[in-house]
Amino acid sequence: MAKLVLTCLRGARAGARFEVVEADCPVTMGRRPDNTIAFDPEKDSKSSGRHADIRVVGGRFVLNDLGSTNGTFVVHGGAETRVAGSVALADGMNVELGKGGPVLSVRLDLDDGAEVPNTSFVDVGSLPLPEPPPPAAAPGARTAVYQAMMVETAKKSAAPLKWMIGIMATLLVGSGVGFYFYWRYAEDEKDTLRREQEATKEELGQKAEQLEADLDKTKEKLTEAQGSLKTTRDNLAGTSSKLLDLRVEYEKAEGDAKKKLEEQTKALEKTKTEYEAQLKKQEEALKALEQKEQASEVIAKKYEKSLFMLIAVRPDTKSMFGFCTAFAAHARGVLATNAHCARAMTDMNDKGLWLVARMNRSPEKTYPIKRWKGHADYKGSAFSTDVAIVEIDLRGDTMPAVPALAPSETLYALAPGQAIYTIGFPGKVMNEQAPAADFRAAVISRLTNFQNQPGTTTTTRMVWHSALTSKGTSGSPIFNAKGDVVAVNNGGLSARSVNVADPVTGGSNTEVAYDATGLNFGVRADALKELLDASW
């Protein structure tokens, strides 16, 4: 039997879930209490008393606008349409009853407990974040209303007037006291938020200064190494020239003079050998410094705005919590992350939460998440192709930076000991209001397939490393020294289960935590390339 699941995303009934089968139709919606789905008469004032209904026509659920005052709108695939009469409902569609009114998400033919396949796009449209609630009526306006009520009552009866005046006076006093305490609470919250923002700015400034200092030190060492290398090369050239002159004199000399020249030649040859060894060592050190400078410059500066924190938002309270890292994979607004993060988004979407991506160090750059898709070979386990892509609504903006995926020959040449770099949002210090990603340097420890075996160049997909991995860093990029993405950070063997508070229900959930010292791993970047090639 066909079934329709409606989840209220915005309005007084946000979070409510309604299941509709054909036998229930027609289902009416509006502010009147006799509707099948009734909204709050005051808080949901944008919707009409009898706003719209849902009927079954030709085996399909059809939405009909019933002459509403503010109109009915549907959003699907990023496009918004006003309903002029009726429209067939589609999976992933969002319905808005009046501009700024209640919003309902639409899911079709989903049985209880069924999962959305992670190998096809999960589409949630492109609605904006919920608007803040309208301001409460001014105390003066309330007083005028109460006065009008008392005058009308006075016309009818003197006795009820005294009774009404007592109640109104109590209400006015209570409203005044309540307004005062609410005002004080709001001011305290503003002060707290202001202090947190100032502390965050100071912390970001300190991190930026430290990064600049580290880069300056690297550049100083690089300049010093280049100078030392030039000196050694000059010394080697001078020694080689002297050695050549001695050999010419040695051929002409005889007796004691020849013996003396022979000793000088041997000494110069020894010096030349030492200079050659010193030159080789300095060249290797210089190469390492050049790679370090390049990686630091490219990753820390050029690609810091390619990082995004994935955040869930409660439409009613606008409270938010970050849960994963993502990074730019395509200029059109496509991010990369883990498949287990995408699965979590499906669960959150089913609970009526809004999903957004907020740019690293740029909280004003917050974009609604439109849809997501996991790799077809993801098995629900960390030891599988745990990568996914997420499409965001850039709303006319452009991606500041998109890191390149390393070519196949680079991925096949990965080996233990190679330097890598990660940048992500560790869960314990996640700041949704001002995201600031952590930059870490590490090395590859080993490479295996998903069965923890050496594998071949094409099946060796797990990149084991010593970089930081914790809740929140899932989905962060792993760069090589050239600044190319070689893997998507995933998890670690130090994982353990912990009980944490659920910000949605107020209860507790069992989640996975990681020790920073554990052996951690990511999925090689060719798995992400496969997903991108198959999707666009």
Output the DSSP codes for 474-495. TT-EEE-TTS-EEEEEEEETT-
pLDDT classification of 440: cutoffs 50, 70, 90: confident
Between 10-19, 23-32, 403-412, 504-513, the lowest mean confidence (pLDDT) is in 504-513
- pLDDT number for residue 507: 62
- Give dist(CA 328, CA 359) in Å, integer: 10
Of 120 and 282, the structure prediction assigns the larger pLDDT to 282
- Yes or no: say if 117 and 125 are a contact pair by the CB < 8 Å rule: no
pLDDT classification of 386: cutoffs 50, 70, 90: very high
Region of 85 (left: φ > 0; alpha: ψ -120 to 50; beta: rest) is: left
- pLDDT number for residue 297: 64
Between 88-102, 125-139, 251-265, 426-440, the lowest mean confidence (pLDDT) is in 125-139
pLDDT, average across residues 136-163: 44
pLDDT at 126 over 80: no
pLDDT classification of 294: cutoffs 50, 70, 90: low
pLDDT at 254 over 90: no
Of 369 and 510, the structure prediction assigns the larger pLDDT to 369
Burial class from Cβ neighbours inside 10 Å (0-12, 13-18, 19+) for residue 344 reads: middle
pLDDT at 49 over 70: yes
pLDDT, average across residues 469-474: 83
- pLDDT number for residue 471: 79
Q: Is the dihedral of CA 381, 328, 492, 471 positive or negative?
A: negative
Instruction: State the CB neighbour count (10 A cutoff) for residue 265.
Output: 16
pLDDT at 299 over 80: no
Facing residues of 186 across strands?
none
How many percent of the chain have pLDDT more than 70?
70
- pLDDT number for residue 136: 36
Between 111-125, 284-298, 404-418, 510-524, the lowest mean confidence (pLDDT) is in 111-125
Rounded to 5 degrees, φ, ψ at 124 are -120, 15
Token pair for 409: 């020959």
pLDDT at 59 over 60: yes
- Give dist(CA 522, CA 411) in Å, integer: 13
pLDDT classification of 112: cutoffs 50, 70, 90: very low
- Yes or no: say if 512 and 499 are a contact pair by the CB < 8 Å rule: no
pLDDT at 420 over 70: yes
> Which residues, other chains included, contact 221 with Cβ-Cβ below 8 Å and sequence gap of 6+?
289
pLDDT digits (tens, 9 = 90+) for 354-376: 999 999 999 999 999 999 999 99
- pLDDT number for residue 288: 64
- pLDDT number for residue 514: 45
pLDDT digits (tens, 9 = 90+) for 176-208: 555 555 555 555 655 655 565 555 455 545 544
pLDDT at 497 over 60: no
pLDDT at 133 over 80: no
pLDDT at 275 over 60: yes
pLDDT classification of 518: cutoffs 50, 70, 90: low
DSSP letter string, 194-248: HHHHHHHHHHHHHHHHHHHHHHHHHHHHHHHHHHHHHHHHHHHHHHHHHHHHHHH
- Yes or no: say if 98 and 46 are a contact pair by the CB < 8 Å rule: yes
Residue type, 112: D
pLDDT at 232 over 70: yes
- pLDDT number for residue 132: 36
Token pair for 174: 């209570």
- Yes or no: say if 430 and 472 are a contact pair by the CB < 8 Å rule: yes
Task: Indicate the average pLDDT of the chain.
Answer: 77
Closest residue by Cα to residue 213 from 300, 340, 325, 105: 300
Between 147-151, 442-446, 505-509, the lowest mean confidence (pLDDT) is in 147-151
What CA–CA distances, in Å, run from 403 to 139, 202, 298, 299, 327?
55, 28, 9, 9, 8
pLDDT at 404 over 90: yes
Reduced to 3 DSSP states, what percent helix, strand and coil does the chain have, rounded to the nearest 5?
35, 30, 35
- pLDDT number for residue 198: 58
Rounded to 5 degrees, φ, ψ at 302 are -65, -35
pTM for this predicted structure: 0.50
Between 59-68, 179-188, 448-457, the lowest mean confidence (pLDDT) is in 179-188
pLDDT, average across residues 424-433: 84
- pLDDT number for residue 115: 39
pLDDT, average across residues 147-166: 50
